Structure formats: structure tokens, C-alpha cells
Amino acid sequence: MTLSLSNLSPLASLVFGILVLIFPKFLNYLIAAYLIIVGLIGLGILR
């Protein structure tokens, strides 16, 4: 399986969902990190 932008978002969502179930206190940090990463990818800063 090769990682591309089309399957990175569902994979990240799955990982974050599992982490939230295990560590519910870190929900705010996980959401913030996810939004920052998706924003940087959307702006073309990260590829």
C-alpha cells in the first residue's frame, strides 16, 4: 500500500480516533495537531 494524499486523511482519522479512545484527555491536542497538519498540507507547505 502506498501512501498518498487521498488515503492519508482516512488513515490519520483512524489513528486519531483510536488514540482518543485510549487517551480521552488528549482530545484537544490531537484535534489541534490534526487541523494544523491538514492546513499545512492544504496550503502546499507539506507534501
Which residues contact residue 40 at a Cβ distance below 8 angstroms, ignoring those fewer than 6 apart? Answer: 46
The pTM of the whole model exceeds 0.75: no
Question: Amino acid identity of 4?
Answer: S
Give residue-wise pLDDT tens across range 1-47.
Answer: 566 666 677 787 788 788 888 888 878 887 888 888 888 888 888 76
CA angle 37–26–43, rounded 5-degree value: 10
| Distance from chain centroid for Cα 11 | 8
SS3 call for 31: helix
Output phi, psi for 26, to 5 deg: -90, 15
